[in-house]
Amino acid sequence: MKPARLISWAAAAIAVAFLLAAPAFLRSYGIYLLALWAVTTIAALGLNLTLGYAGQISLAQGAFVGIGAYVVALMTGAGIPYFIAFVAAGLLTFCIGWCLGYPALRVQHHFLAFVTLAFTTLVFLLLRNEQWLTNGIYGINDIARPTIFGLDLMANGAFYYFALFMLGLFTFAQWWLLRSPWGRAFLALRENPLRAASLGIHVRRYTLMAFAIGSSFGGFAGALYAPLVQFIEPNSFQLTYSLKLLLMVLVGGAGYFVGPFFGAAIDLLLPEWLRFTQGYYLLIYSALVVVLMAVCPKGVVGLLSIAARRIGLSRAGRKAAPADADPLRAPH
């Protein structure tokens, strides 16, 4: 085994051990934050599939999280078991993603970004204005945390392990997906759509598939978000949230499998670490993002792999990273 590979496996093992042991030495708020991290990472994983692997800019991921959250809040509020609501949220967002992507993927790149941007704003308007269904700007309160297979998830710690388990499940699902012929097709599409088409890959169908699956990850994340936070309102799922998710994926490193984990962690933990700066946190964060993009557009993971290559840990590091050419460059 190459040293770099060994180190990354060791790092992953340490991270998992830390996550499992965390509730033992963290206070309630810390546990809540980690649970939020797990949920957000699922949404970011989905966006990474759309953006990093299928190469489509989506600004709708926040809206899909919102849809998932509202579906679960409304269904469990009506007395339907959580498990069914959870599956429904994922299925519904998959279908909406498919229906949105079908016409939208006729146009690509920046146009898709704008169609999804419009979609996000429309979803927000619907959530805000259709009071009979969503309770408008007042949002939905007191969303119950579920009991699954006899396990009561009411406590922060219990829900944290549930969220972590789900994160593990979705991580595995994506890992499996990316190694399946489908995943290979996604990669081929990103690297060279024309060549992929010439090899018999149905470009539009596969892009659509990646988009719909990515969207359903958002829906599932929303289904976990609602019972975690126990209060949802339309404002949480505005365009800003979608932009934030996009920032997470890129700051972490789009197209790297572990990118979203880092991106979500940075986005959620940095405000806590920078608490001493008081109101200036966003100012500092945004400045850091600008600098990071200028120095290393492949994000934090890209930075790490470059660093690893520099100190000679992996000569084959190049193989693990996405191709050096930027797949998302302008179509000229």
Partner 1 sequence: MTSLLQLIVSGLATGAIYALVAVGFSLLWQTSQTINFAQGEFVMVPAFFVLVAMQVFGLHFYAAALVGIGVAVFLLGFLFKRVIVDPMLKHGVLPLVVSTIALSLFMREAVKDFYSSQAQPFPSLVADGEITLLGTVFSTQSLVLLVVAVGVIAALGAFLQRTQLGRMMQATAQNPTVARIVGIDVDRMILYTFLINSVLCAIASILISPIYLAKFTNGETLGLTAFVAAIIGGFNQARGAMLGGLLLGLLDNLCAAYLSAQYRSAIPLLLLVVVILWRPQGLLGRVEERTV
Q: In this chain, which stretch among 13-21, 37-45, 99-107, 178-186 interacts with partner 1, using CB under 8 A?
A: 99-107
Query: One-letter amino acid identity for 77?
Result: G
d(CA 13, CA 230): 31
Binding of residue 330 to partner 1 (CB under 8 A): yes
Question: Are residues 209 and 182 in contact, defined by beta-carbon separation less than 8 angstroms?
Answer: yes
Sequence-ordered strand ranges (E) for the chain: 147-148, 151-152
| Smaller CB separation from partner 1, 275 or 329 | 329
Binding to partner 1, residues 240-269 (CB under 8 A): 243, 246-247, 250-251, 254
Within 202-241, the residues that bind partner 1 by CB under 8 A are: 239
Alpha carbons 137 and 130: distance in angstroms, whole number: 10
Binding partner 1 (rule: CB under 8 A), the pick from 1, 24, 194, 311 is 194
CA count, 13 A, side-chain hemisphere, 35: 26
Q: Which of residues 39-68 bind partner 1 (CB under 8 A)?
A: 57
103 near partner 1 (CB under 8 A): yes
In whole angstroms, the minimum distance from the beta carbon of 286 to partner 1 comes to 4
Q: Cα(first)–Cα(last) distance of the chain, in Å?
A: 41
Applying CB under 8 A, among 12, 287, 316, 323 the residue interacting with partner 1 is: 287
Regarding 326 and contact with partner 1 (CB under 8 A), the answer is: yes
Which is closer to partner 1, CB of 5 or CB of 128?
128
Among 44, 67, 115, 224, which residue interacts with partner 1 (rule: CB under 8 A)? 115
Residue range at the interface with partner 1 (CB under 8 A); choices 40-48, 84-92, 148-156, 291-299: 291-299
Return d(Cα 294, Cα 291) in angstroms, integer. 5
**Piece of 5-13, 69-77, 106-114, 266-274 that binds partner 1 (CB under 8 A):** 106-114
Residue 36 C-alpha from the chain's centroid: 12
Show the CA angle centred on residue 221, arms to residues 59 and 302, nearest 5°.
60
51 sits in which H/E element: none
CA distances from 178 to 39, 54, 112, 154 (A): 21, 11, 23, 34
Q: Please work out the total of residues on this chain that contact partner 1, with binding judged by CB under 8 A.
A: 44
Q: Which three-class secondary structure state does DSSP give residue 21?
A: helix
286 binds partner 1 (CB under 8 A): yes
Letters for 129-158 (x = contact with partner 1 by CB under 8 A, - = none) are x-----------------------------
Q: Name which position in 79, 181, 200, 331 contacts partner 1 (CB under 8 A).
A: 331
Among 283, 307, 316, 323, indicate the residue that binds partner 1 (CB under 8 A): 283
Q: What distance in Å separates the CA atoms of residue 201 and residue 20, rounded to the nearest whole number?
A: 41
Give the span between the Cα atoms of 229 and 213, in whole angstroms: 24
**C-alpha dihedral sign at 268, 274, 279, 283:** negative
Residue 1 binds partner 1 (CB under 8 A): no
Judged by CB, which is closer to partner 1: 103, or 200? 103
Q: Which residues contact 296 (CB under 8 A, 6 or more apart)?
A: 302, 303, 306
Report the interface residues with partner 1, using CB under 8 A: 57, 103-104, 106-107, 109-111, 113-115, 117-119, 121-122, 125, 129, 194, 239, 243, 246-247, 250-251, 254, 279-280, 282-283, 285-287, 289-290, 293-294, 297, 326, 328-332
